[in-house]
Structure 1
Amino acid sequence: MELSYEQVAAFAQQGGTVYFFLIFLAVVVYAVWPKNKAKFDHAAQIPFKED
């Protein structure tokens, strides 16, 4: 079986879409994970602290 450029390009596009969706999903899960709440709450208050 010989692959054409169009087949390879379509596979790369689909694979890239799945890859970046999985990375996006991992970032969202990390951001909403309950264990990280204290870390993000602390980081959110940094701009309001006095020098």
Structure 2
Amino acid sequence: MDIGHYTLVGFAKSFGLFYLLALAAAALLYACWPANRTRFDKAARDIIEDEDKPWR
């Protein structure tokens, strides 16, 4: 069974596309999951609260 170079490249590009789409969907689901809301809200508040003080 001989697999051509262009066949292998096409398969790799297609697999990579679907892999990245699935990874992006998983990251979006994680960011929008209701249980993570308090963690992200706390992180957003911590950045703003730390800006009022001098660095040292």
TM-score, normalisation: structure 2: 0.83
Aligned counterpart, 1:37: 37
Aligned counterpart, 2:46: 46
Aligned counterpart, 1:4: 4
Q: Count how many residue pairs are aligned between Structure 1 and Structure 2.
A: 51
List structure 1 runs of 4+ shifted beyond 4 angstroms.
none
CA distance in 2, matches of 1:6, 1:48: 51
Aligned counterpart, 2:22: 22
How big is each residue's C-alpha offset from its partner over 1:6-49, in whole Å with a ceiling of 9 and x where there is no partner? 00000000000000110000000000000000000000001221
Q: Percent identity?
A: 29
SS at match of 2:40: helix
CA distance in 2, matches of 1:48, 1:40: 13
Note the residue ranges of structure 1 that are not aligned, 5 or more in a row.
Answer: none
User: Larger C-alpha radius of gyration, 1 or 2?
Assistant: 2
TM-score, normalisation: structure 1: 0.91
